[in-house]
Amino acid sequence: MTWQEITGLLPASRSLKRPRNSGITMVLDKGLGLSGTRDFLEVAGPYVDFIKLGFGTAVLYNPALLAKKVELIRSCGIHVYPGGTFVEIALARGHLPACLKCCEAIGFTAIEISDGSLSFDRKVRDYAIYLAREAGFTVLTEVGKKRLPLCPSPMEMARQANADLKAGARWVIVEGRESGCQTGIYDAQGQLKETVYQAFCGAVSSLETIIWEAPRKSQQVELINRLGPDVNLGNIPPSEVLALEAMRRGLRGDTIAMIAGVAEA
């Protein structure tokens, strides 16, 4: 018997072919070297859709190394893009067109438009989405703030997400930060804020286009149990991708009931 025959079928809607329209896994890369990236892709590459070079770290790489790393990621059919903070700085300084040209030259395939650290009005956000799309990038946007006192209401986040999708964004990320706590959707312990979650889900026009930043295992389990194995999840540490895929398939105790013919005790 094969492993798949022993453990059961994949969840019915789970696709292993890219580009996926659901079950997206976005990885937060804070500085893997070329060898580390190669090892990571060899083990977990088939389960990854996007790799984000976090924050502004793309600027700190040796340019030749960065180009090789981006090329390696692309060779596996995975989108790669610089962190949203990097693009926010370029946009605030009036250098977004030049930034996009640099990103294209390096080989990035996607761009994140956000205002998690800085603030931009709707016209500027639409302009940024338009420019990125015209340059040929897959556009992700992000809603929410990195500082809790500045976090918008769930209704405002949903309105912004809907406007981003209308402007041409392919995916909308819900801010969860690297820490997974004290954001618009998570409390200080990293628990999902029920009222915020329900209000946002009820107001957003296309829940299937939402990528939930969920760096903690407990958050991944919660969202999989609520929205199914094909929920889109982001800010996943490289070392946790296989563990997340196991949860998506019901191959961990937290989600084992998803395997056909297996019931929880």
- Sequence-distant (6+) residues with CB within 8 A of 126 are 163, 167
Closest listed residue to residue 236, CA positions, set 21, 10, 4, 44: 44
**CB-CB neighbours of 29 under 10 Å:** 20
Percent of the chain at pLDDT > 90 equals 78
Q: Which residue has the higher pLDDT, 60 or 150?
A: 60
Domain ranges of the chain: 3-258
* Burial letters 130-163, b for 16+ CB under 10 A, else e: ebbbebebbbbbbbbbbeeeebbebeebbbbbbb
Q: Give the phi and the psi of residue 97 in degrees, each rounded to 5.
A: -55, -45
pTM of structure: 0.94
**Residue 222 corresponds to which tokens in the numbers above?**
């919660």
Q: What is the tens place of the pLDDT at every residue in 45-73?
A: 999 999 999 988 999 999 999 999 999 99
The CATH code that applies to domain 3-258 is 3.20.20.70
Inter-CA distances, 105 with 14, 31, 172, Å: 34, 20, 25
Within 118-203, residue ranges assigned H as helices are 122-134, 154-167, 194-203
> Mean pLDDT over residues 206-232, rounded?
96
> Mean pLDDT over residues 233-261, rounded?
89
**Residue 73 corresponds to which tokens in the numbers above?**
């990621």
